[in-house]
Structure 1
Amino acid sequence: MSTKISIIIPMYNGEKYIENTITKLLNQTCHFHELIIVDDGSTDNCFHICEQYAERNKNIKLIHTENRGSGPARTTGVLNSTGDYLYFPDADDDLAHNLIETVQAYLEKNPADLLVFGFNTIYPDGEKEEKKYTPYSIEGSQARNDYSRFCSMESEYGIQGAPWNKVFKRSIITDNNVVFPALRRHQDEAFISSYVNYVETISFIPDVLYTYYANDPNLEWRKFPADYEDSVIGLIKNRKETILQWNRNDKKTHMIIGQQLFCRSVKACENLFSPKQSNTTKDYICKKIEKFLNDLYFSECPENVRNRLGTYHKFVFKLSKERKVKSLFYVLKLKYLIDNNYHIRKFLRRYMRSKV
């Protein structure tokens, strides 16, 4: 019996691209077991578009939920799936025409618990970057014992990050109640580390099967919710329950995770200056920064993490350890203004290039 692959896609206001995604899946060189589209409370016409495809294709399931975010939407898809393996592409990216065939053929010969394949990244300026893996397999226990090689998408063998270049075994998810948490950011990262907690085998294949379209940096801040700190708190909790528990003597991994958590905590502080906030007065923001110094990854961040930080984050690290809230206010505000002003960023890039 062939390996059954369920494809789960969360969708929110995707009328511009969902038809292209469905068409590419239907035109795969090998049939998939089922496509589950979870409409996350869309307000555009995408649900109606998907309804038309579901009526003509028995292996397409369409589910409508209230808007809760992509994490709960994917979990809803999992609960309604019946395949042996699950795949979670994004609705606005591109898939190779032989993705399902390639993945299915490999898993039938080598039934790994987690399969990772290569991908392309297309940046807003048209630049293309390829991530291709050298074939490699490792036991889950070995990976967890030294996770430093797998901590980010940029690593030689990256596991953490997005789920769209990975295939997961459904039984591991359902038997261990692994879910995408209800976070507005970092839900994918939390899901993957929770999943890796239970895997016995991990395989990387060289095939480049996915194309990810990177967000315009000028629009990146718009994706951060006003309560972004809740996502950071959720990620900190997840890391303490998973990666930071696997090998307490794995100093390199702990340092990498510490750096990631610290930088995301800084981002939460910067987000206090967003126009999405209901109160952006100095007194209010200073009180929030003081609270974040306790609630986020500042006071407990190890000193050795400082060595992995760039100049800006080192300065923030120093100020946070000294709890200089007013100084942090001005530094964080300046950073936010720079990040959100194209002309300032352009000037700084030219200035830095002139110094090289």
Structure 2
Amino acid sequence: MLLKTFRWAFAVTALGLVAGVLYDGWTALGLVAILAVLEVSLSFDNAVINAGILKRLNAFWQRMFLTIGILIAVFGMRLLFPIVIVTVSARLAPSQAVHLALTDKDRYQQLVTDAHPAIAAFGGMFLLMIFLDFIFEDRETKWLGPLERPLARLGRIDMLSVCLALCVLLVTSLTFAAHAHQHGGTHADKAQTVLVSGIAGLITYLVVGGLSGFFEGRLADEESRRQSEERSGGAGGGGSALALSGRAAFFTFLYLEVLDASFSFDGVIGAFAITNDIVLMALGLGIGAMYVRSLTVYLVRQGTLDDYVYLEHGAHYAIGALALILLVSIQYQINDVVTGLIGVTLIGASFYSSVRRNRAVRATSE
């Protein structure tokens, strides 16, 4: 099962390392390997969250996630995204941005760094909304009960997560953005950029998530109606979980891709601390993205989230931490090791709590 699920990741690893050696010698091999480890360490919580969403899709859309989705993740976010950043922020033609990336790597890196506040605001707000909607939802299973129970009661207030996210964005634009180091423009321009980008991230979450939820609700209603008709006709419909398809699955898939993009922001920016060569970045981060995708599918097929019920909680807390780190990084540089360790620690703690819970349940039943 493990070999079958990760076979493409292993194959891409081999090809990527060989391509790195052919491109720039043995030093490049080490850089590609480091970038791959960076991507996996920063995105493990992404795999857990993706698995919770992916298990609701039918087999066709799960295959789409591994094929079309990985093309978007590797070539779109890890290769084209840095080019798009420079194209938009420096108002260059795409061909000029590519030429700059290959010939003047220091200038290219500086342009990407200058665009970081806008990227961090967009990704930070998108991830913050995911976290807030999770902790304000009243769930049957609670990991940190004393904290989650009162938050669930507060969640009954309409639009609370949106209001709180906007407050965080406003404070960010008036503090971190207003005092951020810059190479051009005024502090007011920087604050306005962060405010607009953050609102764009919030709108993206509401639109994509809202459409996904709308069509998912319609599909669930149709399924309930079908099962009701089968029961009334004596057919006895099966009780299997509903697998999303059609428009509901499409918008859920779209939501997954936007989610992956938001997670990849810190990895792409952090990669410049290791190398400013976009070819090596694409190879290393692309390998890491393949492992994250394969890990997502492995978690779904093994039913890991059902067995370890607190994993999703830990991943969402890691998302909340990442969202805040992105917003703080508008002014302060935060080491990627710190970011990765926070995520791994939270998920590790939730896994340990899940194991203890399972042992307690087994002991009670015996």
Aligning the two structures, in what range does the TM-score lie when normalised by the shorter sequence? under 0.3
Richer in helix (by share): 2
Richer in strand (by share): 1
Normalising by structure 1, what TM-score? Answer: 0.26
The structure with higher relative contact order (CA 8 Å, sep 6+) is: 2
Normalising by structure 2, what TM-score? Answer: 0.25
